[in-house]
């Protein structure tokens, strides 16, 4: 059971960007069709990834088993905890969107999904993870303890490793 409710560390960045691309497509379809069903699917996907990584997420499985291995280049591995944090932000935003869709109407859903679309698009197309950036800020502020992600905390080691790869 403990293995089921885990998140990979490190994470293949190509898989993370593939998941983000799937989120962009699903969020855009949800907005375009104003579909509560697609909104619930989007929300469940985030929760599946937060709780189990790619294990129970069809999008996560596609990204890790099908798409990422076929993408050209060497797999770039990145720390898992910031990616899990980013999925948690997506889970919170999509959950709020579901609650709004079924209680107060579609207008706040548009705002929440627009926020998701911006964040997922930055990750998918530019490799910029806003959730990871916020995670780093929270670590520097002492809100997230250093032991949660030693690699995230030790920037000198990360930059040295990146320099060695080039």
Domain boundaries, the chain: 11-128
What gap in Å lies between CA 24 and CA 13, rounded to an integer? Answer: 16
- The reported pLDDT for the residue numbered 38 is 98
pLDDT at 45 over 90: yes
**Whether this model's pTM surpasses 0.75:** yes
Closest CA to 50 of 88, 23, 81: 88
CA distance 119 to 128: 8
Does the pLDDT value for residue 60 go beyond 90? yes
Q: What backbone torsions phi and psi does residue 149 show, to the nearest 5 degrees?
A: -150, 85
Q: Is 154 helix (H, G, I), strand (E, B) or coil?
A: coil
Q: How many whole angstroms separate alpha carbon 53 and alpha carbon 51?
A: 6
Distance CA 78, CA 69 (A): 16
**What's the pLDDT at 95?**
98
Mean pLDDT, rounded, for 15-29: 97
What's the confidence (pLDDT) of residue 160? 57
Q: For 87-91, what is the mean pLDDT?
A: 98
> Is 120 in contact with 20 (CB distance < 8 Å)?
yes
Residue 117, judged by CB atoms within 10 A of its CB (0-12, 13-18, 19+), counts as middle
Confidence at residue 120, expressed as pLDDT on a 0 to 100 scale: 98
How far is it, in rounded angstroms, from Cα 101 to Cα 105?
A: 5
Q: Can you tell me the distance from the alpha carbon of 21 to that of 24, in angstroms, rounded to the nearest whole number?
A: 5
């Amino acid at each position: 059971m403990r293995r089921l409710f885990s998140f990979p560390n490190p994470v293949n960045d190509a898989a993370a960007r593939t998941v983000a691309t799937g989120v962009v497509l699903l969020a855009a379809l949800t907005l375009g069709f104003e579909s509560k069903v697609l909104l619930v699917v989007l929300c469940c996907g985030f929760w599946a990834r937060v709780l189990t990584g790619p294990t129970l997420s069809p999008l996560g499985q596609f990204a890790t088993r099908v798409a990422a291995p076929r993408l050209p280049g060497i797999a770039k591995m990145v720390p898992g905890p910031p990616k899990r944090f980013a999925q948690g932000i997506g889970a919170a935003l999509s959950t709020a969107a579901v609650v709004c869709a079924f209680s107060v109407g579609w207008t706040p859903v548009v705002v929440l999904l627009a926020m998701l679309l911006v964040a997922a698009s930055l990750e998918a197309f530019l490799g910029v993870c806003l959730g990871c950036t916020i995670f780093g800020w929270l670590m520097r502020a002492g809100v997230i303890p250093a032991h949660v992600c030693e690699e995230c905390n030790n920037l000198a080691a990360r930059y040295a490793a990146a320099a060695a790869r080039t």
